[in-house]
Amino acid sequence: MRAGSMIFSLVQVPRCRIHRLANYWGETFHSLSKTCGNNSSVRLLSSRIYGLQGGQKRKWTRRPITTNTEGTGSTKSRSTKHEILSEPILKTFTENVNKEQVVEFDNVQYCNLQQEIAQNKDLSSLVTVITFDIETTGFSRENDRIIEIALRDLQGGENSTFQTLVNPERCVPNSHIHHITTHMVNRPEVPRMEELIPILLQFVRSRQKPRGYVLWVAHNGRAFDFPFIMNEFRRHSTEIPPNWLFVDTLLLARELMKARGTKSTSISLGTLCEHYRIHVDGQAHRAMVDANTLALVLRRLTGDLKLTLSDLVKRSFTAFDIINSKKKKNSD
DNA sequence: TGCCAGGCCCTCTTTAGGGCCTT
């Protein structure tokens, strides 16, 4: 059986009043634990793009890059072969992606999510939940750069994940953290951020529902991942799509801690994994591994907090919120 | 010389500071 066909789509869930996320995603997460690292993904680790502006033709090389990945808590060493996949969807990403399309994408009229929530409607046909993680050259969103990005669409199915190294065009000083070296990313085959953004937008677009929203989930995303992504977009004169919402699992973990009256407990992703006895399948601090781990943590957190998809949307914030809070703080 | 990230939360608190979390 193909892994993708085992994934339980959110769209297939019958409408009901109580939309427990844990119930919705039960099958999805069950499958996730089996399929992490499988071939239901789009990897973009070896690419070359020409002429992003003006819809010029671009070429993609098929140059496999091999990286060694150490398994956490294990002496086993795995060799992962990264190369451009040949699925039709990837062809869609790599052909005819230009800024005009992105602008067209931004002109789409989205549904009124608040109204849908107020009417207690099932949001599963409107919201795409994506866990994601980035690896960077450091903590500074201004001075550091993204060197790896990975996404997992929780509705599963074919091409539900996206991962790639990113060429930062600078040295990587913190390889001891993620084991991504300067040599691995500073290569012509590895896409630069300005090349990657249109493809990333196209991928997300392929996963979202008609007139729907995309809920990005990251751990400590409010302070780190989301502003980092926003800065990269700003640097390359691209606006964050208006239908992107963000949820921070660190805030959910704090909420759970508070509800339980627990204090002074670590709520790092690693500690949450230990708490929930989640097996990390691969090397932590690699984007895809952490995005997969986060998907499992999210399931447990939303289950413990008894959150529906609507509840999660209510706890989300927008790029505007992040910018606004920063401006407000600066003016204080 | 001192700083070199920044948002959120807690507390010995809000006219502030320290710790956690992300790489």
Closest nucleotide (CA of A227 to C1')? B6
User: Residue A300 pLDDT more than 70?
Assistant: yes
pLDDT tens digits for range A313-325: 999 999 988 887 7
- A30 catalytically annotated: no
In-domain check, residue A94:
no
Q: Smallest Cα–Cα separation from A132: which of A3, A221, A203, A46?
A: A221
User: Residue A191 pLDDT more than 60?
Assistant: yes
In-domain check, residue A49:
no
pLDDT of amino acid A183: 95
Mean per-residue pLDDT for A154-166?
A: 94
In-domain check, residue A29:
no
Q: Does the C-beta of A204 come within 7 A of strand B?
A: no
Name the average pLDDT for chain A.
74
In-domain check, residue A285:
yes
Q: Does the C-beta of A176 come within 7 A of strand B?
A: no
Cα–Cα distances in angstroms (integers) from residue A177 to residues A32, A133, A285, in the given order: 25, 14, 7
Whole-number distance in Å between A60 CA and B11 C1'? 56
Residue A264, domain CATH? 3.30.420.10
Q: Could you give the CA distance from residue A190 to residue A231 in angstroms, rounded to a whole number?
A: 20
Q: What's the number of domains chain A is made of?
A: 1
User: Residue A332 pLDDT more than 70?
Assistant: no
In-domain check, residue A5:
no
pLDDT tens digits for range A91-126: 444 444 555 555 555 567 788 888 878 777 788 889
**Range of the structural domain that residue A247 is part of:** 132-319
In-domain check, residue A310:
yes
Q: Does the C-beta of A222 come within 7 A of strand B?
A: yes
pLDDT tens digits for range A261-271: 877 678 999 99
In-domain check, residue A16:
no
In-domain check, residue A65:
no
